[in-house]
């Protein structure tokens, strides 16, 4: 911890950080530039036109915007097919569609990144009521292999694939979620796909939430899945989710999304196309702003004496930054500062509350235009040891930087 907090000059520290971060920011911009170009080239290839922005109603047959955006997602994400819908309620819903689309009674889902994101536990049937329609209720088995030192445990995976013939889905979560591990990189996920495909017919499914556009490419899984109020919505999509992958995997998932035989051929877009299309166009830039905000936070809070992950100069494959405070008041002060520096509801003070489904009280800062959108600057954390703040988002670097400054000031006040 710095000794003389009294006259601490946060602006000087931010200037120092920005000078050090220049090469990091240049790398971030390179990714954003390349991927923006990919998007524009794909828009041109598929005749993205003004008519694509118009709403449809009813069945939505032949909705040009919907059909074109599906093609553009597939192009830009390097997959055979994709399905993007505002009507997918959130990331959990998109993942549920993908898993139920691929798995049948007697099949097994094997997670190779340990316990999946909290909300998936009830989808799988690891936790929660029996009889609600979880994978387990439908006779689908589940098993998991923990990461070893933050890496996929290939020895255990090899053994599992050799021993059980019913593994239909090998599942990996790219982002750290609410854990302290690092995100898996695209290279690591590609290695996983090659490994599995060389040994079995199982589908490789990746929870890609928070990962999109952080690297030059997306993982080459059979199906990867994400939320539009995170990275690929670019901060403009008002709700939604997507899944992308092989033709067959996307088709099977689309049959679960609507009905067998109908799949992705229907779905009125009722005015949401513009937000989803423009949001996708904005997404590489917005993700870059989030990554810069995260890198700045990493630099500043490390200098203030806290353990951060990733460090400011480490490679990023998701937009999450963690700051370990070690005491509840630190975590709360951080969230107060983020809220104070947010565009919406900056006058309110976040307090810990007992959120349904969580064992400990949780504090959340989210002053967002789209409710709950975590591509916008937001921070949260459970009130328990070791009192870690999870920070993500920032629609613009300028606003992200201001949020980090407010958070640092609020934390520094504690030691005055
Ligand atoms: C956000 C997220 C999800 C899905 O959460 P929703 O709140 O349902 O959108 C799943 N996995 C990871 C890693 C996530 O970050």
pLDDT tens, position by position, 184-220: 999 999 999 999 999 999 999 999 999 999 999 999 9
For the beta sheet containing 362-366, the strands, ordered from the edge strand earlier in sequence to the opposite edge, are: 307-309, 321-324, 388-392, 378-382, 362-366
Q: What are the C-alpha distances in Å from 245 to residues 120, 148, 313, 397, 411?
A: 20, 27, 31, 31, 44
Spatial distance between the Cα atoms of 42 and 277, rounded to a whole number of angstroms: 12
Q: Please tell me what DSSP assigns to residue 271.
A: T
Spatial distance between the Cα atoms of 322 and 103, rounded to a whole number of angstroms: 34
User: In the chain, what percentage of residues exceed pLDDT 90?
Assistant: 94
With a Cβ cut-off of 6 Å, ligand 1 is lined by: 90-92, 117, 119, 173, 175, 177, 207, 209-210, 227
pLDDT mean over 255-274: 98
> How remote is the CA of residue 103 from the centroid of ligand 1, in Å?
20
Spatial distance between the Cα atoms of 292 and 23, rounded to a whole number of angstroms: 11
What are the residues whose beta carbons fall under 8 Å from the beta carbon of 96, sequence distance 6 or more? 123
Give the atom of ligand 1 at the shortest distance from the alpha carbon of 175: 13
User: In the chain, what percentage of residues exceed pLDDT 70?
Assistant: 98
Tell me the three state secondary structure of residue 62: coil
> How remote is the CA of residue 178 from the centroid of ligand 1, in Å?
10
Which pLDDT belongs to residue 319? Answer: 98
> How remote is the CA of residue 94 from the centroid of ligand 1, in Å?
9
Which pLDDT belongs to residue 359? Answer: 78
pLDDT mean over 344-355: 95
pLDDT band at 1 (very low <50, low <70, confident <90, very high): very low
Query: What is the best residue among 91, 97, 175, 206 to mutate for testing ligand 1's pocket, by most ligand atoms within 8 Å of CB?
Result: 91
Give the atom of ligand 1 at the shortest distance from the alpha carbon of 320: 15
Measured at the CA of 188, the angle between CA 185 and CA 192, to 5 degrees, comes to: 140
Q: Is the pLDDT of residue 347 over 50?
A: yes
Tell me the three state secondary structure of residue 193: helix
């Amino acid at each position: 911890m710095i000794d003389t907090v009294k006259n601490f000059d946060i602006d000087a520290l931010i200037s120092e950080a920005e000078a050090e971060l220049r090469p990091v920011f240049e790398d971030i911009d390179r990714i954003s530039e390349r991927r923006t170009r990919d998007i524009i080239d794909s828009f041109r290839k598929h005749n993205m036109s003004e008519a694509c922005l118009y709403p449809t109603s009813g069945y939505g047959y032949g909705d040009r915007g919907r059909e074109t955006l599906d093609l553009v997602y597939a192009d830009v994400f390097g997959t055979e097919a994709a399905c993007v819908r505002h009507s997918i309620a959130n990331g959990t819903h998109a993942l549920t569609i993908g898993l139920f689309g691929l798995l049948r009674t007697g099949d097994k889902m094997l997670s190779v990144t340990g316990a999946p994101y909290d909300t998936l536990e009830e989808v799988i049937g690891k936790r929660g009521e029996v009889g609600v329609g979880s994978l387990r209720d439908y006779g689908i088995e589940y098993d998991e292999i923990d990461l070893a030192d933050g890496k996929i445990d290939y020895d255990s995976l090899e053994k599992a694939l050799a021993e059980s013939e019913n593994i239909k889905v090998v599942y990996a979560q790219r982002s750290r979620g609410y854990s302290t591990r690092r995100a898996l990189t695209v290279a690591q996920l590609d290695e996983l796909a090659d490994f599995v495909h060389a040994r079995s017919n199982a589908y490789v499914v990746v929870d890609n939430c928070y990962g999109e556009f952080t690297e030059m490419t997306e993982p080459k899984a059979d199906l990867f899945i994400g939320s539009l109020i995170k990275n690929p919505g670019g901060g403009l999509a008002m709700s939604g989710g997507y899944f992308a992958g092989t033709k067959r995997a996307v088709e099977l998932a689309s049959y679960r999304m609507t009905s067998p035989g109908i799949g992705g051929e229907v779905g009125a877009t009722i005015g949401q196309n513009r937000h989803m299309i423009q949001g996708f166009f904005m997404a590489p830039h917005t993700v870059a702003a989030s990554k810069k905000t995260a890198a700045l936070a990493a630099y500043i809070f490390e200098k203030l004496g806290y353990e951060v992950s990733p460090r400011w100069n480490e490679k990023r494959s998701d937009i999450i930054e963690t700051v370990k405070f070690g005491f509840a008041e630190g975590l709360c002060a951080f969230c107060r500062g983020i809220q104070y520096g947010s565009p919406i509801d900056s006058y309110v003070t976040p307090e810990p509350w007992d959120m349904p489904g969580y064992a400990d009280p949780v504090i959340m800062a989210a002053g967002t235009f789209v409710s709950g959108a975590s591509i916008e600057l937001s921070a949260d954390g459970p009130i328990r040891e070791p009192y870690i703040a999870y920070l993500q988002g920032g629609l613009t670097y300028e606003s992200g930087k201001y949020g980090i400054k407010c958070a640092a000031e609020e934390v520094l006040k504690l030691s005055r």
